[in-house]
Structure 1
Amino acid sequence: MIKTSATATVAAATPMPIVGIGASAGGLDPICEFLASVPPDGGFAYVVVQHLDPVHKCMLPELLKRVTGMNVLEVEDGMPLRANQVYVVQPHNDMRIEHDHFSVRPADERRGRHLPIDIFFRSLAAHSRDVAVGVVFSGMGADGALGLKAIRDNGGLTLAQLPSTARFDPMPAAAIAARAVDIVELPGQMAARIVAWWSTQQSGVPEQAVLQRDGLQQLFQLLLKQTGANFSDYKLSTVLRRIDRRMKLRQCASLADYVCFMRSHPAEVELLFKELLIGVTNFFRDPKVWEYLMGSALPQLIAAHPEGATFKAWVAACSTGEEAYSLAIAFNEVLEKLRPKARYALQIFATDLDDDAVDQARQGVFGADIEADVSEGLLQRYFMPAEKGGYRIRKDVRNTIIFARQNVISDPPFTKLDLLCCRNLLIYFTAKLQEQLIPLFHYALRTGGLLMLGSADTPGHFSQLFAPMAGAGRVYRRLDASINRVANYFPTRVSSVSAPILIEPNNSTMNGNLQNQVEQQLLKKHAPAAVLLNAHGDILYIHGRTGAFLEPAAGKANWNIHAMARDGLRHEMAELLKRATQESGVILVQGLIQRDETGKPAQALDLTAEAMPDTGPLPGTVLLTFATASLPPKKRRSRSSNPHVLELEQQLAQARLEIQAVRDEMQASREELKSANEELQSTNEELQSTNEELTTSKEEMQSLNEELYTVNAELQSKVDDLSLVNGDMKNLLNSTDVATIFLDSALRIRRFTDQTTQIYKLIPSDVNRPLSDIVNDLLYADLEADAQNVLRTLVFCEKQIETHSGGWYTMRIRPYRTVDNVIDGVVVTFINITELKQLEARLLSQPKDAGRV
């Protein structure tokens, strides 16, 4: 009953699903096709945002009413949003959703700054989040792509028209290229896909995937087997959020069902792999970092090698290559400024886990939107025009970079580097993996080498490995440190083929030297029961009988000391291990009371923890020993007759230790949250600035394109009408069987009927030629003079003219009047009267009395 009630409460609180529809040139037909397939009582609200001409009256609501049974309304400011309604935005307005009501404002008056689809989609994503649906149909430009990405990032559903079926495909193609589309479909099939998605959304796909460890383990294994990528070290919250999206799209009710679907559809593994990879990059991201690099770091690196040198750099997680090309351009700019006499070169290794992104980076071709990040001077010096208005990197710059697929987690790193760039990658990894990669980066760099991190990344507590550069943002210089402090993790390709597990013990080799060292250390402590632990509490080695203190936890095997410690020892062990890693020497806790199953004191226990020496084979490990002791005798005190006073004092001491440990953890968490909040605020400001710059660079071209295609559509309609009228007029004139010539004011031929060719030797190419240049069959030389006289006097002229072949025509010359009542030439018609003349001649030749009786 409780479960059903909770489910009903959640369902009742589910907001109304809203479908945002964006279109531009050629979008009317797919919109009509989509709405015609929508059930009128499906419970959705539909909002249509189309680029419309602000000068003309909007006819879109009247057109949509013909194809749908739902009510179609033109949006007004403050209008409430209701289900089973279709809303149409007014021309030249920006629309948003606020508290289930529409907010309509006039668009920016400046030309080229109107992207109504992106504006509405972003508002929809913030308002409806995971129940928002975005659809993009035919249109020019890229309006809608950023809005769809916002909807997708908030858990909503995004669809785009199949580009091959769109009259103008740039809008859906741009959305697909931006990886912002979940489903690419025909307009008539989209409604069924949306309904199926909503059914899965309402069914409540389990959000307890974190508890389904076996299913998650199998999913990671499938990803590892097919893609070679191990996602078990990624932050679980990010991974689960992406998995949940794919489960809803595939209408899988549980994680086990989704794993079965992946086994039978290998393509889904690739789609999930693409979903889990986050490729965000652009040229010269964080300008302050690049200013420091070009103004200080690179010149100092060059000055340190006056005889010349070839430097090495590694750009990890390069995505589509913008970061690597930015580094190459920066190095060339520094050389151009310094003009050193010696020869210098920079070899860049750029790697990423996404094969498609690496292939795109190898091409070195980028869209016109890079103008927002790259100055005009750099564009002229390092780029060439490419197809579709884009840019191609200069060949000599491209040849300095080697692009390759590489997994920074499992593949060996590049070494002897002068510069290592790994920006905004660590934030997607667990803290454990971050603590392994930072020492690995230290190992890969030369002494004094530079580590460039993203605005949200830090080296953590490895202050002995890297020092921040003053005024450089997230740029750090490598410090010399003992190799024993950083050599505890080195990835190899062999590790990538093992099954991923959520908790990985350190599988260090238990060789003879390690065993001898552990045994000698235990002999010094009179060989008590002991365990050897790494910094995370994973058990590496067990000596003696530890069953009285440790027991395997229920469920999947877990060899972590914090999970295996028996009741009453867990908090004490945690505090003891923490102190051992921070302090030198032996840390001792005496007199811990262990209880039996009935709760009575069973034995006393002394715990000792000692960090192993850094010079040993396993630096950073801790040896934990257990020593039993007899229970202290009960002492009678004159002030109290309570026999449990000693026991209560012991419990009080343990409680104080626990409280202190909790306080320390809370303080550390508070500092980390404060730092993370500051980094998020900084990142948010940078993203807002980047979005504004991108919008400014694209908006004017977008507006011009929309206006051109609107005018083109109008012209095309007029041309079609004109062609129809011309065809009608030509057929009408030919059907009269009258020879007609249209002349302009200079007596040049404008048009003629087919019957005219019997009098004048005309062909179609004679149009615009003077009539006097054409050979004719008339015994009449004053036609041009009579036509000029008609133009001058506007008096109708009619004559009967004979031809060389013996024919007769009635010639009429009339002024040609335009629709504006302007004389613009003459119309000459020839009516064949040869038979009439012949009959008249026969009548005249008969005697006068031939008819008398």
Structure 2
Amino acid sequence: MHETDVEPSGDFEAMLGYLKESRGFDFTGYKRSSLLRRVQRRMQQVSISDYNEYIDLLQVNADEFVSLFNTILINVTGFFRDAEAWEYLEHEVVPGMLAERGPDEFIRVWSAGCASGEETYSLAMLLADQMGVEDFRRRVKIYATDVDEEALAQARHASYSATEVSGIPEDRLARFFDKTETRYQFRKDLRRSIIFGRNDLVQDAPISRIDLLTCRNTLMYFNAETQARVLERFHFALAPRGLLFLGKAEMLLSHSRILEPVNLKRRVFTKAPNSTSRLGQFTVSGHAVVPPTERDQLEELRQLAFGTSPVAQLVLNEHDTTVLINQQARSAFGLSHGDIGKPLRDLEIAYRPVPLRIHIDQAKLEQRSLRIQDVEWHRGSGPCWYEVHINPLVSEESTLIGISVVFHDVSAARQLMAELQDTNRRLGAAYEELQSTNEELETTNEELQSTVEELETTNEELQSTNEELETMNEELQSANDELQTINDVLRDRGGELDEVNAFLESILTSMPHGVVVVDREMRVQAWNRGAEELWGLRREEAEREHLLNLDSGLPLPEIRPVVRKALADAEFQAELHLSAINRRGRNIVVRVLCGALRGADGTSNGALIVMEQQEPPR
């Protein structure tokens, strides 16, 4: 059935509106023929024929959204898919693109509709082969986007089966992938040049100043009107000499006014001469003309206001070069005027107290402000706590021109919050004591009332009551003495427990081997000095972090299955010999012993990992 033959019902359109409002997925621009077919296929799988009933199911079952989106967003991809087009890209397009740019110019690539990442990593391999690995890592940034979060999560892992990498030549596979037992992992040093993020081609703002934009066999799912809007965004995204690489199933005959073919057969396009897109047409209004002398005064006022701001702040340009640093930032983080003009990567603040570059790249990609809470920074006067705000600076033409990084000192607020919590805790304890005293007073009052009544009856009973009270006082005194004795014993036991903990800590510190203890959630509970010496991570940086999130030279993918077995089996023990990179960046062989951390009930409460660097063979 052709698209023009499809007559979707009002209920179907209402369901599309519900998907857009509830989950932010706008499928109204998709071709109705394929969209109807895929939605109905999913409805048949759950035995529902009415669209309103299906909306009811979506409202009560959040997991159904995932199944529906996976049915609609069919991600068909592979490494170097359509080999002839990739050969043309490798031998003609990329060499020409690199020849037009200087040896120090940055190369920005956008892989739109990246699915599970095969096309993105194909681009990375192709560019690394053409430029050399060192130049690639220094100059190339690849932005890979998709609307499917599940596919993006798979792409971020950069791990593929033997069947999935079968389309990669053997020599290229050996150079760019590290083989594990059953999987192939893309090289980590090259993976750092790739940023994955969610981007809806129909709704979200495009990434700008792109030298090479690939979007293969994605436009064919959209109707003609939506295709035109997406192509306008691509035109805006391309740099003046930028290139657009499409799939063979897509045509651009109706858009020759803004894009012209470099090779129509291979679907490679560039901007048409003197072409403009609607996204690039902006008008500036409402700004008064300021005389030059007043502009100088205004500029001086801005500089003074920025420099004397009580909040630490620095500003970067679009290439992550430092252009402004105020007085507070210089004082707090040891910066100086000489750091202005340096790349952010050359400054310590790029890595401590928080890894800024990762969050800056995310803010650029998503073009939204980010907030990082609970950032701790130690200086001479003690620890400080910051809330870091990263804000993209966008011009009136919607072009990213820089990044503002602001450090809000929240140490006083944290101190007040801690004091408030402590005060609330003490008030709660005092209230409980008061309530207990009140209950005792009520009980005593009843006893006194009874005693008064007895006194009115006979003096002899009063004497007897006095004797009983004396006996009770003696018993209470004896009980108090026993409680004091118990408190003394508990205090002694507490001191013994502190000594035991100190003894265990000294054992871990004194061991020459690296020792790591993880709990059942694989979060690090102990990280001794031997582990610090091996991997260069301080104890406070490693503890309470997930083992697999640690940035060390230890091959975590190979250790992960062994640790999981230790968490599942209290009797499990294993020994591995692995190739790793120590804190000095040297290749070493490390002997790893892993066993379960058994609790009193005989079950596994965690895992103990002992690491020893082996001497190289003579």
Bin of the TM-score, shorter chain as denominator length? 0.3 to 0.5
Bigger share in helix: 2
Instruction: Please report the TM-score for the alignment, with normalisation by the length of structure 1.
Output: 0.31
Structure of higher RCO (CA pairs closer than 8 Å, 6+ residues apart): 1
Larger Rg: 1
Instruction: Please report the TM-score for the alignment, with normalisation by the length of structure 2.
Output: 0.43
